[in-house]
């Protein structure tokens, strides 16, 4: 199994920045893709960004392209989400997830087997 722990959420004003971190432990050798997802109240969970664990290839949802950057540090078994130019509509619980499926393009949510507990991001106007 893989254990994931997120950190870095908080409250910011529109236009501000936050950096989320996710630390993986356990059977990390099984990870081929890491992703960030978010879920706002009353809405379905949506994919935000993914990164191929070894190759570093990235994928972004259109809603965050140009504002968010996903990165990873393999030595630390960690993945990050730098969020700039935040908007009120970015308010959500953000989750880190891992998949054994390689992600050069978007990987369906159901392919992500392990999930963190989430970290809350609130953006005020």
Contact 90, 123 (CB under 8 A): yes
Residue 79, SS3?
strand
| Beta-bridge partner residues of 50 | 35, 59
Q: What is the mean pLDDT of each run of 10 residues along the chain (125 residues)?
A: 96 98 94 96 95 95 97 96 98 97 88 96 97
Taking the C-alpha atoms of residue 120 and residue 42, their distance in angstroms, rounded to an integer, is 15
| Contacts of residue 47, Cβ cutoff 8 Å, sequence gap at least 6 | 35, 36, 37, 61, 106, 109
| Contacts of residue 64, Cβ cutoff 8 Å, sequence gap at least 6 | 48, 49, 83, 90
pLDDT at 106: 85
pLDDT at 10: 97
């Amino acid at each position: 199994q893989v254990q994931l722990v997120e950190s870095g959420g908080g409250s910011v004003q529109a236009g501000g920045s936050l950096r989320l971190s996710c630390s993986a432990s356990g059977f990390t050798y099984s990870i081929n893709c890491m992703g960030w997802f978010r879920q706002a109240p009353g809405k379905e969970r949506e994919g935000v960004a993914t990164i191929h664990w070894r190759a570093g290839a990235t994928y972004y949802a259109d809603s965050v392209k140009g504002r968010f950057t996903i990165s990873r540090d393999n030595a630390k078994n960690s993945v990050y989400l730098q969020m700039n130019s935040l908007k009120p509509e970015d308010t959500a619980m953000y989750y880190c997830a891992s998949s054994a499926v390689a992600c050069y393009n978007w990987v369906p949510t159901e392919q992500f087997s392990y999930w963190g507990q989430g970290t809350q991001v609130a953006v005020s106007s």
